[in-house]
Amino acid sequence: MQTNLLDTVVTTLRSPAQLIELLNRASAVLYPTDPSFSNHVRDKVARWWPIFGDLSCIEYEYGALSPNPTLREITDLVFRAYPAIEKEMRVVLTKADQTLGRERFLELLREIEAAAEANGEPETCGIRIECLRLLNDMTKVEALEREVEKLTPEELAAFRDWFVEHDWQVWDRQIERDAAEGRLDEFAAEALAELKRGETKEI
């Protein structure tokens, strides 16, 4: 494996958005020869994107970035928090490099960089705000899942108790709203009719 390939990428490109674009292009390149791995890459990229989009939690635990960090600084921070991402990215980039050939791979890097310049994309982590805007409900859930996985058994038990109570409260409020809006009237009338006909059972 070319151990410096990822280093070349993060020093050539200038923002997380460009890195994600490269990984998506790599996935497309790999699809004809290895569709299963290509789909695997797309799933990984979908999980990595929100991590690069909102670095605040990582900064809180591993140290704040400079006001205008380079992509190198951003990836170093993310890789400290999620070492597996670095290993997985190296595998993806190496396979793409082997499929394309080094010359075409470097040309692809230059194309992405040139396109970013032409579109006036910020050079640094100004992209962070846009990343946050693009987060959807699923990525938020995935971020929560990662935080829950970090809980100690005691914290998990406390969270479970809180969530059960919270879930019941949400359900109660929904029932109250449905009742106030008359959505339960039909069910209530049907239940009373069954009672009058003697079709109900004592619980």
Confidence of residue 127 (pLDDT cuts 50, 70, 90): very low
- Choice between 146 and 203, residue whose per-residue pLDDT is larger: 146
Provide mean pLDDT across the span 143-167. 83
Q: What's 66's DSSP letter?
A: P
- The whole-angstrom separation of Cα 61 and Cα 42 is 28
pLDDT of residue 178: 74
pTM score over 0.75: no
71-81 vs 5-12: helix axis angle to the nearest 10?
A: 130
**Domain edges within the chain:** 5-149, 153-196
